[in-house]
């Protein structure tokens, strides 16, 4: 099984599909959690406290980190293998292939942007919340003030009061939309749903899922930015 998952193209794509599916489910959960901040800072902070330096949250964090590493590593390996397999053809003038989307041809580049955005996100939130608690602290310095490490609502409000953070996060979300719009249906295609009946349905599902994720995350960023400009928070 180990040889199959590493040595065959189908095995690598299967690992990509399984890890990608788990990450999409987490992203949907994270988006739903963030939307809570739009309606109740107290409820959002309660969730942040539950997902702090507790053993189950730490296990989940370690699992997510492993999924990201595996997903990106296999994507890199597949891209290198495909590049080598093309041989001299990679120097030929490219023509637009029918049915091949821009996202599908640039998944690695989109993945790199998503990964960079993730690192930015971790520096803004995880490093000032769960990591602080892991190191034995209870407060983080945000905008020259000390706030509780579980006060995620205050951290969101401060982070997205800065226009440059808003721009960077929106770019990240756009890259994530393109990545998911291809990745979600490709995941099902690897599982065998590749016939003419399922293809348009899965493409539609992929667009719906990626659009919901984009709108959910973007709404939080934009609303908190508008609130900051209006002095509402």
Specify which residues 146 forms β-bridges with: 141
CATH of the domain at 140: 1.20.1300.10
Q: How many domains does the chain have?
A: 1
Which domain does 219 fall in, by range? 2-230
Tens digits of pLDDT across the chain (233 residues): 456 666 677 777 888 888 989 999 999 999 999 999 999 999 999 999 988 888 888 999 999 999 999 998 888 888 787 777 665 454 344 444 444 567 677 777 888 899 999 999 999 999 999 999 988 888 888 888 899 889 999 999 999 999 999 999 999 999 999 999 888 888 777 767 766 777 788 888 889 999 999 999 999 999 999 999 887 65
- pTM reported for the whole predicted model: 0.86
Specify which residues 139 forms β-bridges with: 148
């Amino acid at each position: 099984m180990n040889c199959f998952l590493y040595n065959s193209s189908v095995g690598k794509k299967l690992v990509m599909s399984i890890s990608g599916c788990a990450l999409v489910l987490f992203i949907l959960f994270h988006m739903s959690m963030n939307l809570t901040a739009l309606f109740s800072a107290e409820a959002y902070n309660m969730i942040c406290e539950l997902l702090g330096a507790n053993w189950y949250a730490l296990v989940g964090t370690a699992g997510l980190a492993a999924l990201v590493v595996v997903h990106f590593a296999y994507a890199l390996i597949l891209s290198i293998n495909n590049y080598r397999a093309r041989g001299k053809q990679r120097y030929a003038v490219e023509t637009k292939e029918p049915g091949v989307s821009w996202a599908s041809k640039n998944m690695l580049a989109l993945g790199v942007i998503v990964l960079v955005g993730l690192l930015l996100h971790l520096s803004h939130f995880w490093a000032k919340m769960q990591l602080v608690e892991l190191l034995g602290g209870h407060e983080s310095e945000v905008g020259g003030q000390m706030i509780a490490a579980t006060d995620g609502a205050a951290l969101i409000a401060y982070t997205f009061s800065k226009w440059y953070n808003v721009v960077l996060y929106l770019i990240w979300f756009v890259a994530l939309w393109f990545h998911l719009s291809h990745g979600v249906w490709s995941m099902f295609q690897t599982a065998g749903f590749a016939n003419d009946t399922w293809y348009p349905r899965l493409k539609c599902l992929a667009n719906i899922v990626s659009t919901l994720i984009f709108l959910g995350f973007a709404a939080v960023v934009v609303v908190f930015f508008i609130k900051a400009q209006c002095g509402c928070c």
